[in-house]
Structure 1
Amino acid sequence: MARVRFIGPEPVTVPELGSHEVQPDEVVEVPDARFEGYVCQPGTWEAVEEPRSPEPDQTELAPLAKKTAARPQKEN
């Protein structure tokens, strides 16, 4: 999980964090996939700890779809 600091002037309730009330200058953990959604608001949030990149051997790849070769069309 990534971490961000709330730099707003008043407490806010963040539904994504289980309706947790975040206080000014509080550091909270956010899902790695949502990190950019917080730090793109520089007047409200600042990055503390960026998401870790997955280890190369732990990266899960989706299997490729199998395709068959196209058959030539028959001429009548």
Structure 2
Amino acid sequence: MARVRYVGPEPVTVPELGRIVEPDEIVQVPDERFEGYACQLGTWEPIEEPKDETPPAAPVKKTAAKASQKTEG
């Protein structure tokens, strides 16, 4: 999960988190909702971006091209 800091001046209720967040408090937010918090620079400060959980792609095995099998007749 990603993390953001609430930079507002007074406590705020955050329904998505199901609780009140205090000023200067760091909270965890769902990765898919991180941008929704991070774009509100006057209210939230990004602390830890979502981790890319996609595993690296398997290396592709390169082989030599086969010769054409065309025959003229």
TM-score interval (norm. to shorter): 0.7 to 0.9
Q: CA RMSD in A?
A: 0.9
| Matched pairs, number | 56
Identity %: 70
Where in structure 1 are there 5+ consecutive unaligned residues? 58-76
Deviations 1:16-64 (A, max 9, x none): 001x10000000000000000001000000011100001316xxxxxxx
Q: What are the residue-to-residue correspondences of 1:13-52 with 2, within 5 Å? A: 13-18=13-18, 20-52=19-51
TM-score (ref. length: structure 2) = 0.73
Stretches of 4+ moved more than 2 A in 1?
none
Partner of 2:5: 5
Larger gyration radius, structure 1 or structure 2: 2
Structure 2: gaps of 5 or more residues? 57-73
